[in-house]
Chain A
Amino acid sequence: MIAEPPIPKLGRITASAVTEVLATQFKLSAIASTSADKPVTSATEEGLFGSVTLTGGRVSGRVHLRLPEAFVAKLTARLLGQAATNVTNESAADVTGELCNMLAGRVAASLAAAGYSSKLSTPTVVRGHQLELEISPGAKTCRSDWTCEGHLLTVALQFSFKSR
């Protein structure tokens, strides 16, 4: 009889994915935000939301990402070697999608290492204000705020795990 792999810790997976993606691709560091931090952008101002669906035999769910517009402009400028003022809505949305895709890729790799393989969808990006998650029954949710370059980013993982 094969032992059931334990449900992975989504908080750790998020932390590892966020820090790795920002450090490797953008050479930025992010720290978990606490109530004492005072970021220059707030969680309620307009931002971009990326989301990628992961689908596997024993796990399914989504990786959500919320980025403030000013931060997306900074990331886009850094990634594409442009001035932040020249960033278009299209390229900002594209960078948000790509960042979410990279995060989802890292999350998928961590889940696979824990015995839960999955495939990624292409990212979807929308604009809006606050990140509202629909709570699915039985799904595990982990939502965390991160401070990077003074901006507040929100990452949420919502996954359902099935036993064998």
Chain B
Amino acid sequence: MSQKILSVDDSKAVRMLLARLFRPFACELFEAANGEEGLAVAVRERPDLIILDYNMPVMDGVSMLRQLRENAELRRTPVIMLTAESSAENIATVARLGVRDYVTKPFSEELFLAKVARAISLVARPTHDRRERKPDPQSERGGDAERPATRDAPTSATELAESSSAPSAAPLQRASVLVVDDSRTMRLSLTRALNELGFDNIKEAKNGRQALELVLKEPFDLMLLDMEMPEMNGMEVLLALKNNPQLGGLPVIVISGADQIENAVRCIEAGAEDYLPKPFNPTLLRARATSSIEKKRLRDLDRVRLIQLQTEKDRTESANRLVTQKNQILENLSSKLSKYLSPQIYQSIFRGEQTVEISAKRKKLTICFTDIAGFTETTDNLESEELTNVLNHYLTEMSVIALQHGATIDKFIGDAMLLFFGDPESKGVAEDAKACVLMAIAMQRRMRELEQEWRNRGLLRPFRIRMGITTGFCTVGNFGSRDRMDYTIIGNEVNLAARLQSATEPGSILLSHETNALVHGLVMTEEQPPITVKGFPKPISGYKLVGTYNDLVKAGRVVLEERDGLHVLVDLTKQDRSDVIEILQNILTQLKQPRGKVKQAAGAARRRKKGEAEL
């Protein structure tokens, strides 16, 4: 049976949307714009399902529902609420009134249809029946002119699934058969035989043209087709069916005289399902008709399953598209947000290695604080736009170097930068300290290269940066509130880096004692007079970075020879060359002496170094 669905909603848009959703199904849809109209239609049409809005003018959904429940004939009609109202109170009210389901707007069309299918049996409308049809006065519902004339479709997924395991008599009774023969006697004979076999839905056509008109008007499960007929013969009917994709699934059994066997073969080649010789044998007719109908049923089942699969596929694709769109939005957003974070922090959060919660840990880090000496005075004569450009250029250049060396950029404070090594990624305390010092040297070198560029932009006094570097234990982690937090470091070492920075000369780098100890084989430093730093009980020793030994050797500033057990370092800026030559010659002389003497000489040299008197 075709299902009747009543849609009660004051929004025409929703009613039209439901009409679109139910279009593929063999059901009659009735509409009402408020509860009062809905009740009138329900009383008249006895719908199988009511889809009801909550808020409507004249009479709302709850009032209509109450009246439905008081009506003996309609009280059991399933109702699905489709509404934007989702308060628990409203849901409880309609639940007490026995609604079958509750769908809130906006709604997923697929899930809504699934809920409808749980309430009533939704039957797919046959493909060639999906257009509007006028009421057929000959049909069993011909008397009811208000109803759209939709024939009971045999292709419900449920029905088909059920009938696939049921006795074959059940589908035969439901199957509709069209007998096409120009001989009235033959038509009557076939109809009678079919009735005796259990078919009770049979129609007749006296030629091919009439048959085609009928199959275009309503669906059939089987056609029994004569070959020789006036106006349009059997072969022409077969070709017309074959050329119409909507009718291609209709099985046709050709009824043909034994002398027309060759024609029958041609008909089967043209798409007929089977062949039955005249005079026909009822047992053979039953076997072939049943077989053809069964094949059609299976084809229909395949088609319904295909529709279901297609629906599922569409739903999945739609969900995937939505996910892709959301991902794209998230990617764009995270890309924008990432600019506000150090890449290591951003990446470790996205890899799930870093928790986004208020937490911190103690860790030994190497911290670098940089600042442009006399920034305000240097940029005083620049327009604000130019100043912004120069400052952003400087910070961009420095950030690139920092990231190349693996620094975590903690923050920009005007023209100052706070950077650290050792978290979230660390190569070990000594390696982190070395990376930090090499970064500082690279930054100073880049500053010298940028000098000319900035001069061309009108910066009369070039930027000179001061840098302070220290190594020590800090508290590192997320600080702030649950809604807004910063990944940063806290501790005396941060202050010390800032103090070392302010204590050094523009264009130079000052290391703390601990950092100096960690990098002593890599760079040459010069000890500076101790400085007093707030928060540190004793004066702090600072070590001014001179350069890497590699660079100093290349520049001819030092002589360095290193082997296993040999280390010769001569700082030519501090030693007179002739003194160095003399010392080295002395060493050579000692080396040329026999072994025991060398030991003595070496001992004497050590004593001299310690200031001991040489006897």
Contacts and interface: CB of A to CB of B under 8 A. Distances in A.
B395 to A, nearest CB: 22
A25 interface: yes
Interface residues of B, number: 29
Contact of B84 (A26, A76, A94, A104): A104
A27 B316 CA distance: 12
B338 to A, nearest CB: 18
B86 A108 contact: yes
Given A29-B322, A122-B57, A112 B88 contact: yes
A27 B325 CA distance: 10
Interface in A22-58: 23-27, 29, 31
Nearest to B321: A27
B20 interface: yes
A12 to B, nearest CB: 12
Given A97-B11, A98-B13, A112-B88, A29 B326 contact: yes
Given A90-B12, A109-B104, 15 more contacts: A20-B106, A24-B107, A76-B13, A91-B13, A94-B13, A97-B11, A98-B13, A98-B105, A102-B84, A105-B83, A105-B86, A105-B104, A106-B106, A119-B55, A120-B84
B60 to A, nearest CB: 9
A81 interface: yes
Q: Which of B10, B55, B106, B107 has the most CB of A within 10 A?
A: B106
Interface string A80-122: 1100000000110011011001101110110010000111111
Given A20-B106, A29-B325, A97-B11, A105 B84 contact: yes
B318 A102 contact: no
B86 A94 contact: no
Interface residue SS majority, chain A: helix
Interface of B: 10-14, 16-17, 20, 55-57, 83-89, 104-108, 318, 321-322, 325-326, 329
**3 nearest A-B pairs in the assembled complex, by CB-CB distance:** A105-B84, A25-B106, A24-B106
Contacts of B84: 101-102, 104-106, 108, 120
Nearest to B83: A105
A31 B85 contact: no
Interface string A5-23: 0000000000000001101
B87 A112 contact: yes
Contacts of B85: 105, 108, 119-120
A26 B105 CA distance: 11
A102 to B, nearest CB: 5
B598 to A, nearest CB: 78
A79 interface: yes
Contact of A101 (B11, B321, B325): B11
A5 to B, nearest CB: 15
A23 B108 CA distance: 9
Given A98-B13, A104-B84, A105-B83, A25 B105 contact: yes
Given A21-B106, A27-B322, A109 B13 contact: no
A98 B318 contact: no
Nearest to A92: B13
Given A80-B13, A80-B17, A120-B55, A27 B318 contact: yes
B11 A98 contact: yes
29 contacts: A20-B106, A23-B322, A24-B106, A25-B105, A25-B106, A25-B107, A26-B106, A29-B322, A29-B326, A80-B13, A91-B12, A91-B13, A91-B16, A94-B12, A94-B13, A95-B13, A98-B13, A98-B14, A101-B11, A101-B84, A102-B106, A105-B86, A106-B84, A106-B106, A108-B84, A108-B87, A120-B55, A122-B10, A122-B57
